[in-house]
Structure 1
Amino acid sequence: MRRWLALVMLLVAPVAHAQTVQVVTEDSAYSYLEQGRVAGPATEVVRAALDRGGFDDARIDLYPWARAYEKALSQPNVLIFLIARTPEREQRFKWVSELMRMEYHLYKLASRTDIQVDSLDAARPHSIAVIRDDVRQQYLKRKGFEHLVLSPGNDESFRQLLAGRVDLVPLAHSDAQLLCAKYRIDCNTLTRVLTLDELTVGLYMAFSQATDEPIVERLRRAYQTLKTEGALARLE
């Protein structure tokens, strides 16, 4: 009997390791294309955890957020990062680990002296560029905002702000800095008008709900091992 059980374990164990995991994320200050390869500080942390967990064939792809989110909602064995853990999403994903905390702010062009925002209610009349299916869109929609302009990513939201097609855009400080550099804009031309305190959230890596639990647990253990060893760079 013991011999038979040992044989079963040998036959079953490789199956979980053989399942291919697709990893999806969006373009941001923490994940971006560099010489044809997805790079960035968050990407390197996720890649290190995948390597430690033995996910040798995992492929990391960069998509517009809505497409990455849809893949993680609808397909098995999809790992998504950096995704905010919110009550609406709690049962939709299998959460692996928190990678960082994120704080968002509303920005306007410094030249728009006509825009005076000192509270969330004061922002309501203004048009705001948000990413489709992003936590910022979901938060503002939940708060009853009606003038939300949907875009596929931070780049498009930022371009709409620069072109004067929207009044405000919610960004993390790091993303605002990255976008200013990318478009060769002096960041002094932006003004931070309001911090969205309620939207300070943990950003995670999470598996699609249809992913087998052994795969999820294997990555959890790998990440925790690296964290315990002090082998992970801090993201901020």
Structure 2
Amino acid sequence: MSRIKCVLEGRTKALSRLCLVLPMLIVCSAYAAPLTIELHILDAPPLTFVDDPKGHGIVGDVAVAAMAKAGYAVQLHILPWARSQKHVSEQRNHLIAPLSRTPEREDRFTWIASVMPMERAFFTLDRPVSSFAEARQTFRKIGVGLGSAQQEILRTEGFSDDQIYPLAIGDNPAQMLLMGRIDAWFNGVPESRYIWPKVSKRKLLMSPVNSSADLYLACSRRCSPKMVEKLRAAIESLRASGEIQRIHDRYLPQ
């Protein structure tokens, strides 16, 4: 009897200690730090800013707001854009924005949600072209962002590798156009219109919009379905509340 009593007393004490510890674990869990997720962006104003007092740009601010709403902390990463895409596609649960959903990229990423549409056109200093066909016949060198969807689009439209001139994303293509090193700049309309006044006072001529594709918040191919669901819901909530439009208008006033 004494042995049984001793065992029971030992178990009772263990259970008592467990009962004391469990509430502490629950409280700690409730106040645990949010899971930190890597978000890869690039310096492509006004879509994304790497270092600007106003914020991270239209798509950058939407991505960060969606992550906070979904309960995630953000760790920003900035790499050359082609390397960022390769890195994110090969990892697990890494995010990237803004990314155009193109056929070449379709199977390399998990596409969470569209943030905004992106129209693209040819920009020149002399005369604008009206179509891809005319551009193929007219331009010897067309500047595009290195690793951008613009490269893929021109290849798909039949432009030769000699015509496509990849340059570091940012104001580099605008500077090359101003110096006459390229004949045209094929790029997103909001980005080009934002960058050009900071480069020159010369009039920038724009062709009709030749291509349009939405910009997405995307994830690695191997991505948690729960995280995708939470972020997708967060972006749709931001859209429904008008917050995405307010962020857009802060960087690009009507």
TM class by smaller structure: 0.7 to 0.9
| 1:151 to partner: Cα distance | 1.4
| 1:136 to partner: Cα distance | 1.0
Separation (CA, whole Å) in 2 of partners of 1:33 and 1:88: 26
**Match in the other structure for 1:31:** 48
| 1:90 to partner: Cα distance | 2.1
**Match in the other structure for 2:214:** 202
Query: Are 2:133 and 1:133 aligned?
Result: no
| 1:92 to partner: Cα distance | 1.7
Q: Over aligned residues, Cα RMSD in angstroms?
A: 2.6
When residues 195 and 233 of structure 1 are mapped into structure 2, their CA distance, relative to the original with a 3 A threshold, is closer
When residues 60 and 187 of structure 1 are mapped into structure 2, their CA distance, relative to the original with a 3 A threshold, is farther
**Match in the other structure for 1:216:** 228
Q: Rg larger in 1 or in 2? A: 2
Aligned length: 214
Residues 123-178 of structure 1: CA distance to partner in whole angstroms, max 9, x if unpaired?
A: 11411011233111101111221111111213222221111111011122321222
Find the residue that maps to 1:232 and give its secondary structure: helix
| 1:227 to partner: Cα distance | 3.0
Q: Is this contact kept in 2: 1:107–1:194, CA < 8 A?
A: no
Separation (CA, whole Å) in 2 of partners of 1:89 and 1:142: 13
| 1:45 to partner: Cα distance | 1.4
Identity rate, percent: 27
For 1:122, the aligned partner's letter is: E
Unaligned ranges ≥5, structure 1:
1-9
Higher helix share: 2
Task: Flag as ranges the 4+ runs of structure 1 deviating above 4 A.
Answer: 35-38
Query: Are 2:37 and 1:51 aligned?
Result: no
Find the residue that maps to 1:69 and give its secondary structure: helix
Query: What is the TM-score of this pair, normalised by structure 2?
Result: 0.74
| 1:194 to partner: Cα distance | 4.0
**Match in the other structure for 2:58:** 41
**Match in the other structure for 2:6:** none
Separation (CA, whole Å) in 1 of partners of 2:202 and 2:192: 8
**Match in the other structure for 2:193:** 177
Q: Which moved more, 1:220-229 or 1:72-81?
A: 220-229
Where relative contact order (Cα < 8 A, 6+ residues apart) is larger, the structure is 1
**Match in the other structure for 1:4:** none
Query: What is the TM-score of this pair, normalised by structure 1?
Result: 0.80
